[in-house]
Structure 1
Amino acid sequence: MAKTGYGKRLAGDEDPHADADFAHLLPREAELAVFIDHLDTGHSMAHKVLAAEHPRYGQQATRTALTRITEAGHLRWIKEHITLDDHTMRWVTRTYWSRTRRSPEWWAQFARERHGKDVTRDHQPGLARVEDGVTIDVPAVDEPGIEPEPEIGIEPEAEPEAQPDSAAYRVLAGLRAADARLQLTEGDCRSLEPLAEEWLARGATPRDITRALTDGLPPTVSNPGGFARRRLESKMPPQQSEPRARVTRVIMACATCDQDERTVKIDRGVCENCRQELPDEPVTDEDMVKEIEEIAHLGTTSAFFLRKKLERRTGGPVPDTFRPVPIEDRVFYHYRDNRDRIANGLPSRRWNP
């Protein structure tokens, strides 16, 4: 799942599910479209995340398929400029999905209707910076390739690492150094941690908490835990209302490179440069299976002759443990490279032992 407010978002007004929803797509794109359609709202739409969860296609194949699904009218990346009541501004990239095939004109009207929308629920605080005299809030957006690449493979189970203490816990534990009369125990810090976290959530700083608990202490404190709890509850700062956020500008973005229509021409959700990089004739599933089987057969044959060639050179068999890279691994690297190239619609490379 992506961060709250990002990820897959439904465009709305969907037709009921039908077998012909994605019949106009090629088999690979249709399979990925069905996969995306069944994802929960808010799921990350980055091609690396989708490829890690899909059992058949890799990152490049998924990225190409997303581009073609976008061209077909099911997917759009739209950048929204959001202005808050406190005069901070931010650009966010939204990913809108429609099971029903939409025309470019429909998507253009959909983008225009986003202007002026109240998106307070979708607002996520980011890191503010100053740009041309205007305060801009920079969020983490859900765009292609931004998530860290997931680890592939099965690793041995490791012992769980100890979770670092929260900021609220560290403030409470530091009271011993701030004032010797507040000798909170480990149990006191853990039980008071939710109250201190609520202080921080309402805009208080660690120094504010320390000052509220240490100012005006009596000469002796017989029950530091109970004393700290009473002060945290009685001096709790007021709840801050979230500033209202609304969309003040909407522009289309390319599904592949994330450039927007301010700098490039966007046609059917894809810019001209990214469209030129796509193969003219997409590879069908039948061609893909056939070429992969041929590559696998050639790889096995090449491994056999490569082993015989090396054995003649060394005068006899040599265990793989004495080789820099096992022969099967060399063949596997070549096969995996060609498999990814074929899935992305590129010609395979010849084997050169």
Structure 2
Amino acid sequence: MASENSISALPSAAHPMANPGYGKRGTPDQDPLRRDSFAHLPLRARYIAGFIDALPEHSAIDAKTLAKEQPLYGQAAVRSALNELSVAGHLRRVRRLSDPGTASGTTRWVIHTYWSRIARSDEWWARFLDGDVPEPERKQERRPARTDAYRRLAQLGLRDPRLTLSAADCTALEAAATEWLAREPDPQVFAQAMTGGLPSTVHSPRAFVATRLRDKLPPHRIRITPTAPPPAPRALMECTECGRPGRPEALPGGLCRGCRL
């Protein structure tokens, strides 16, 4: 049985890293770590939460690795703790469709495990899954309002790290993106136009996005046409327990119906 003193156990510097593109991924607008950050959790989940939180980005945080790298809990107990962390809003597994490979031209799904020191709501995770970084659930009145164009530019890095823009970049490109969205307001169309078919290396994300904003600017709409069907989702939530994919509304607390029973 874990004791209160063992809650402060930290991972070793040699904790395994996941394969490139996998492993622990942070979420925006985190609070500083406090002594009571995970005090609302049961003892076992509190211990695993502190262990995961101390790990660097892209560390392996699957049940098998976590069971091996900490001394208190085996795989079954770690798996149960991960479910508790998912229900509490600290963790989500997301299945994302990667871009076609340059050689084979095929697509594949990759699994990302997102970690939040703050307990997030199901609604927050649903918006995050769709590429819309929600405003902080607390202290919103202290943050300056941003235009939709600025937010869409800032979110490009979530869809593909090669297009990660700085705040200065987003400000410089904001006017061009505003004009783009005025002609075609669908955020999915905008994101696909900016991130589709990227070269293997983008040396200057700001210059690259500026070129695409100019070259792929939609024409002015002359008449109203029927709305095209929405594109197939590029990301699905995964049940933390069994890995079954689904939309966020079908996985409250990050668990499917069978695993919640």
Q: Give the TM-score of the pair, scaled to structure 2.
A: 0.54
For 2:109, give the aligned amino acid: W
Q: Is residue 113 from structure 1 mapped to residue 131 from structure 2 by the alignment?
A: yes
Q: Is residue 40 from structure 1 mapped to residue 56 from structure 2 by the alignment?
A: yes
Alignment of structure 1 residues 252-331 onto 2, 5 Å: 252-261=237-246, 265-276=250-261
Alignment of structure 1 residues 219-234 onto 2, 5 Å: none
Q: Aligned residue for 1:242?
A: 200
Query: Is the 1:83–1:248 Cα contact (8 Å) retained in structure 2?
Result: no
Q: Aligned residue for 1:102?
A: 120
Query: Is the 1:257–1:274 Cα contact (8 Å) retained in structure 2?
Result: yes
Query: Is the 2:101–2:107 Cα contact (8 Å) retained in structure 1?
Result: no
Query: Is the 2:92–2:254 Cα contact (8 Å) retained in structure 1?
Result: yes
Q: Aligned residue for 1:217?
A: none
Q: Is residue 67 from structure 1 mapped to residue 83 from structure 2 by the alignment?
A: yes
Q: Aligned residue for 2:179?
A: none
For 1:104, give the aligned amino acid: D
Deviation at 1:36, TM superposition (A): 0.6
Structure 1 residues 51 and 88, CA gap change in structure 2 (3 angstroms):
same
Name the CA distance, whole Å, in 2 between partners of 1:94 and 1:54: 22
Structure 1: tracts of 5 or more residues without a match: 122-240, 277-353
For 2:253, give the aligned amino acid: R
Alignment of structure 1 residues 6-17 onto 2, 5 Å: 6-17=22-33
Q: Aligned residue for 1:24?
A: 40
Alignment of structure 1 residues 169-248 onto 2, 5 Å: 242=200
Query: Is the 1:84–1:243 Cα contact (8 Å) retained in structure 2?
Result: no
Superimposed CA distance per residue, residues 268-297 of structure 1 (whole angstroms, 9 cap, x where no aligned partner): 101111122xxxxxxxxxxxxxxxxxxxxx
Among 91, 95, 100, the alignment partner of 2:109 is 91
State the identity %. Answer: 41
Q: Secondary structure at the match of 1:76?
A: strand
Superimposed CA distance per residue, residues 130-166 of structure 1 (whole angstroms, 9 cap, x where no aligned partner): xxxxxxxxxxxxxxxxxxxxxxxxxxxxxxxxxxxxx
Deviation at 1:85, TM superposition (A): 7.3
Structure 1, 44-53 or 109-118: larger mean CA deviation: 109-118
Name the CA distance, whole Å, in 2 between partners of 1:39 and 1:7: 10
Structure 2: tracts of 5 or more residues without a match: 1-16, 133-154, 164-198, 203-231
Q: Is residue 58 from structure 1 mapped to residue 102 from structure 2 by the alignment?
A: no
For 1:106, give the aligned amino acid: W
Q: Aligned residue for 1:78?
A: 94
Alignment size in residue pairs: 155
For 1:270, give the aligned amino acid: L
Query: Is the 2:94–2:235 Cα contact (8 Å) retained in structure 1?
Result: yes
Q: Secondary structure at the match of 1:44?
A: coil
What is the RMSD computed on CA atoms of the aligned residues?
A: 2.6
Deviation at 1:82, TM superposition (A): 1.8
Q: Give the TM-score of the pair, scaled to structure 1.
A: 0.41
Q: Secondary structure at the match of 2:126?
A: helix
Name the CA distance, whole Å, in 1 between partners of 2:26 and 2:131: 14
Deviation at 1:61, TM superposition (A): 0.4
For 2:238, give the aligned amino acid: A
Query: Is the 1:85–1:243 Cα contact (8 Å) retained in structure 2?
Result: no
For 1:267, give the aligned amino acid: P
Q: Aligned residue for 2:5?
A: none
Name the CA distance, whole Å, in 2 between partners of 1:4 and 1:70: 23
Query: Is the 1:10–1:96 Cα contact (8 Å) retained in structure 2?
Result: yes
For 1:265, give the aligned amino acid: A
Superimposed CA distance per residue, residues 68-88 of structure 1 (whole angstroms, 9 cap, x where no aligned partner): 101000000011112237443
For 2:29, give the aligned amino acid: D
Name the CA distance, whole Å, in 1 between partners of 2:240 and 2:101: 31
Query: Is the 1:82–1:248 Cα contact (8 Å) retained in structure 2?
Result: no
Q: Secondary structure at the match of 1:41?
A: coil
Name the CA distance, whole Å, in 2 between partners of 1:110 and 1:118: 14
